[in-house]
Amino acid sequence: MTGEGFPTDEMRYDVLTQAALRGVIRAALERAATPDGLPGAHHFYITFKTRAEGVSIPADLSAKYPDEITVVIQHQYWDLMPEAERFTVVLQFGGQPKKLVVPYVAVTRFYDPSVQFVLQFEPPQMAPVEVDDEPEAIGPEDDDTPTDDGPKVVSLDQFRKK
C-alpha cells in the first residue's frame, strides 16, 4: 500500500447488519402473534428507548421511564401486531392495559431467556431536549398574556390509593 489508510465503508455494513438483526425481532414477534402464540418456554424481554422517534406510550409510563423501559412478552399480551417498521402491543401495567407502539429502531436489547438468545443494538439518535435555564424576565408593561391559561389536565393517579 502507499499509505492511503483504511478504505471507507460506503456500503455502511454496520447499518445493514443492525437492520437485518432487527428483522429477527420482527420475525420472532410475527411468530408470537399467530393464534398458537409463543412456542414452548419462549418469551421475550424487549428494551427500548421511550423517547425515541416514533415511540408511543402512555404519559404515565413515559414519566416513570423517561429514558428506557424493558417489557416482557410472555403470558399476558394482546393485539400484538408486528409491522415492517414497528410493532404494537397491549400489555398490563399495574393491572391496567396500555397500548405501546415501538419502532424497531428504538429497541436496544432483545432477549429470550428460555434459550439465552440476546441481540444488543446501538441506541438510536435522540433529539436533545431543549431546556430554558433562565426564563426571560417580563415586566408589567411587557405582559400581554391573559392571566388564565385555560383548562388544566390533572392526572388522577396521584390521588388513587395504592
Looking at every residue in the chain, the average pLDDT score rounds to: 82
What's the confidence (pLDDT) of residue 90? 96
DSSP character string of the chain: --S--SPP-TT-HHHHHHHHHHHHHHHHHHHHTSTT-S-TT--EEEEEETTSTT-B--HHHHHH-SSEEEEEESSSEEEEEE-SSEEEEEEEETTEEEEEEEEGGGEEEEEETTTTEEEE-PPPP-PPPP--SSPPP--TTT--S-S--------GGGGS--
What's the confidence (pLDDT) of residue 2? 53
What average pLDDT score do residues 99-105 get?
97
What's the confidence (pLDDT) of residue 146? 44
What average pLDDT score do residues 80-89 get?
97
Residue partners of 91: CB distance under 8 A and separation at least 6: 71, 72, 73, 76, 77, 78, 97, 98, 100
What's the confidence (pLDDT) of residue 128? 52
Opening angle at CA 52, ends 135 and 112, nearest 5: 145
